[in-house]
Amino acid sequence: MCRFIAMHGYIDEASQDAFGIALESLVDAARVDKYSDFKSHDDGWGFSVFTDKSALLYKSIRPIWSDEDGLRKLRQIFSLLNKRRASIVIHTRKASSNTPREVLDAHPFVFRLADGNLFSFAHNGAFNLSILGYTSDNQMLSRSDSYIYAKEVLSKATYRGILQAIRKSIEVGMVKSAMNIAISIKTPTELATIAVNYYLSNKPLYYDMYYLKVNDLYMIGSSTNMEKTAEDLQEAKLEKLGNHGVMVCRETCSKCTVERIDYCNSIL
């Protein structure tokens, strides 16, 4: 189980301030989550930053609140993105009982799609990997179920076919508890950010996802940290993505304008 936030769009002074609030909200939610039974998401954290010209990945096995060097790096990177466009994913992890707690298993995971485009994947929930040939849900995995899903399922999809791959995963019963995900995609001409809120659990307070907009920057993420972010920002309007909700942000890097924002409860 995990907490995360994805960001997409143009970064200005207002969004610089909002980023600081959003990051602190995520740190607080990772340390103590009012909606979870286990309280802390303390099995590592990480972030990815995609721009039109670069891609960066950071992972740590330490809890996010105790990794001051990593947090300092992230704040510095975000400050350098002022007046630029980016797709960013930040994730804090609570490992499933049958998965290792190693730095490689911290989210997000970066792979290439079948068409060669780069993607970053972060997940909250658990997958039923028996669909992929794993013998049981209790089998000790060599890597996390999220890593396996990204590598064995999503990396076989194309950029334009990734939502279809996600939908098929749901149809064949691959979701055990939730498929709350954030994906960044970098192509030679586009940046994209995809967020999906899908869960089978009866814990909507924990699993619901929300989004808000600060000028031209969209923030999408887990309930606990997004509620706190909106509360501290005050003027930002918090919107529920909700179970079966999908949000897709796309833009052409050459024009640096948002091409399309989709919100669709019917895709899944």
**Which overall architecture, per CATH, does domain 2-263 show?**
4-Layer Sandwich (3.60)
Q: What is the mean pLDDT of residues 173-195?
A: 95
**In angstroms, what is the C-alpha Rg of the chain?**
17
pLDDT averaged over every residue in the chain: 89
pLDDT beyond 50 at 259: no
What pLDDT, on the 0 to 100 scale, is given for residue 257? 45
Question: Could you report the per-residue pLDDT of 209-245, keeping only the tens digit for each?
Answer: 999 999 999 999 999 999 999 999 987 899 999 899 9
244 neighbors 192 (Cβ within 8 angstroms) = no
> For residues 124 and 199, what is the distance between their CA atoms, to the nearest angstrom?
10
Q: What is the pLDDT of residues 96-125, one digit of tens each?
A: 677 677 788 999 999 999 999 999 999 999
pLDDT at 139 over 80: no
Assign 260 a pLDDT band (cuts: 50, 70, 90).
very low
The domain locations on the chain are 2-263
Sequence-separated (6 or more) residues with CB below 8 Å from residue 107: 2, 4, 45, 46, 89, 91, 93, 121, 122, 123, 146
What's the confidence (pLDDT) of residue 17? 94
Res 158 pLDDT > 90: yes
| Residue 267 confidence (pLDDT) | 52
Residue 36 — very low, low, confident or very high, per pLDDT cuts 50/70/90? confident
